Amino acid sequence: MSTYPEAARPLVEMQPRYKFFVGIDSDGCAFDTMEIKHKECFCPNTIKHWDLQPVSKYAREAVEFVNLYSKWRGINRWPALVMVFDLLRERPEVQARKVEVTQAPKLREFMKSGKPLSNDGLKAYMAEHPDPELDRAMAWTKGVNAAIADMVHGVPPFPYVLESLELLQKQADVVVVSATPGEALTREWEEHDIARYARVIAGQEMGTKKQHLALAAKGKYPSDRILMIGDAPGDMEAARANGALFFPINPGHEERSWERFCKEGLGKFFAGEFAGSYESGLIAEFEKLLPAVPPWKR
């Protein structure tokens, strides 16, 4: 890839130590942090900063559907926010209350600008395109990060994550591949003493998950020796875009998934028996859990 964020240099410069590469998503995959982050940090800040108090019940349902219980689970916070606005605007209950939900035109322009979809990316965009809507967006994203820093701690990795990392470190280069801000990722991985298992901890400042895998692994390892572990369709798409394999951590069944990876999937990956029917079976099971249509439309 010719263009990449300067922050991604550690991924670009990383050279293989082992024959295998494993990317691991963090929120909701390695750590049981998705529920607390979205329900207690994202949702209250979305209601507060975007004047959704009159429809807070519906705002909460939309935030939780997009970020936790749909095929968009785990997407970057900016497209997720705009999707929440779109779901709310078309909902009859919201229309009946005559609540103006923002169309977010300036936010959509930022998302199309090519700037990284991070706080730094927004800051750089705002320097060129100042607008009150973007001031509000910055207040929202900073409010979310402050709430996470204040509230989300003491949440350990899922059972079998540590055991899996200990097995992986003997044969694979491990990189954290996440859309979370890097500062929060590093804090969580260091708090539970598992940062030492990762060659690089890559957050949103280093680009998208797809870019992380492309920069760190593509062309450096054979594609059948590159594995992405994640709990969201975006993780699978990032793997597919780079010709890599995918092991899903099933939402709501994370502990069982990690046990399966530790006792079965990891061995198949190292033995070259992962691709094909084994991977297809895992993915079929995973896709059934994440619908595209919200419950209030079914």
Cα–Cα distances (Å) from 85 to 68, 102, 106, 250, in that order, read 16, 7, 13, 27
**Is 173 in a helix, a strand, or coil?**
strand
Cα separation, 181 vs 251, whole angstroms: 22
117-139 as b/e: b if 16+ CB within 10 A: bbbebbeebbeeeeeeebebbee
DSSP bridge partners of 21: 173, 226
pLDDT for the residue 254: 96
Q: Structure pTM?
A: 0.83
Residue 152 has a CB neighbour count (10 Å cut-off) of 18
What is the DSSP annotation of 44-111? HHHHHHTT-GGGHHHHHHHHHHHHTSSTTTT--HHHHHHHHHHHHHT-HHHHHTT------HHHHHHH
Residue 154 has a CB neighbour count (10 Å cut-off) of 7
pLDDT for the residue 4: 81
Cα–Cα distances (Å) from 141 to 27, 50, 146, 156, 297, in that order, read 17, 11, 9, 24, 29
DSSP bridge partners of 133: none
CATH topology of domain 6-32+157-287: Rossmann fold (3.40.50)
Identity (one letter) of the amino acid at 126?
Answer: M
- 8 A C-beta contact, residue 157 and residue 194: yes
- 8 A C-beta contact, residue 99 and residue 55: yes
For 118-142, what is each residue's pLDDT tens digit?
899 999 999 999 999 999 999 999 9
pLDDT for the residue 1: 43
Domain boundaries, the chain: 6-32+157-287, 34-151
Structure tokens belonging to residue 103: 């169309």
- 8 A C-beta contact, residue 119 and residue 141: yes
- 8 A C-beta contact, residue 142 and residue 119: yes
- Which residues, given as ranges, of the chain have pLDDT below 70? 1-2
Q: Between helices 277-287 and 233-241, what is the axis angle to 10°? A: 150
